[in-house]
Amino acid sequence: MIKEVIVVEGRDDVTAVKNAVDAELIAVGGFGINKKVIQKIAEAQRRQGVIVLTDPDFAGEKIRKIISKRVKGIKHAYISQKDGIKDGDIGVENANPDIIIKALKNAKCEIKDKRSEFNMDDMIYFGLTGTSEAKCKRDELGKKLGIGYCNAAQFLRRLNNYGISKEEFIKALNNISEDKK
């Protein structure tokens, strides 16, 4: 499991990287890097570190520069154009898993043990799944913790992958309750 959160351009890149390694990913959606996405990347950098892996083309370099300018201390992984081309299309999504692994190793990614501080019983106990309010509660808690909104299974994964402690979790949960009063 890769410790750092890997930032890629799009969904196809997410699929390619997930086929190569076990890691948390953020897809920026091409040039659609807005303030919300930058904040998510900054929070990931603060918690776990970030590796940017963009396409080996002009657009990929531009996206890399935008992120680097706004979020300090990130690592960069690169694939060559030769390794990312298929049928005239260039991108991370075309690289085979070995190439992606090599690029991440060259970026000095850190390997961590799979963390299981939280489990599905916690999600049920705290009302983050299985209730009519669960979606809203995950959304609010995701904002407080800086991990964003997602379904229950992804939320559980992010709680563990972002290194969130039970104390931090309870504090954020209590803040949500106080905000509603």
Distance CA 107, CA 101 (A): 10
Task: Name the band, by pLDDT with cuts 50, 70 and 90, for residue 181.
Answer: low
* Higher-pLDDT residue of 5, 146: 5
The tokens of 65 are what? 């520069």
For the chain, percent of residues with pLDDT exceeding 90: 76
Strand, coil or helix: 73:
coil
Residues with Cβ within 8 Å of 149's Cβ and at least 6 positions away in sequence, in order, are 138, 139, 142, 143
pLDDT digits (tens, 9 = 90+) for 12-40: 999 999 999 999 999 998 767 889 899 99
Mean pLDDT of the chain: 91
Is the CATH code 1.20.1250.20 the one for domain 5-106?
no
Taking only the tens place, the pLDDT of each residue in 116-159 is 899 999 999 999 999 999 999 999 999 999 888 899 999 999 99
Whole-angstrom Cα distance, residue 175 to residue 149? 17
pLDDT of residue 112: 79
> Does residue 72 register a pLDDT over 70?
yes
Tokens 């390694």: give the residue.
21
Please report the pLDDT score of residue 41 as a whole number.
95
**DSSP code for 25:** E
Coil/strand/helix, residue 100: helix
Six-digit token string for 160 = 């563990």
**pLDDT number for residue 67:** 95
Q: Where do the structural domains in the chain lie, given as residue ranges? A: 5-106, 120-179
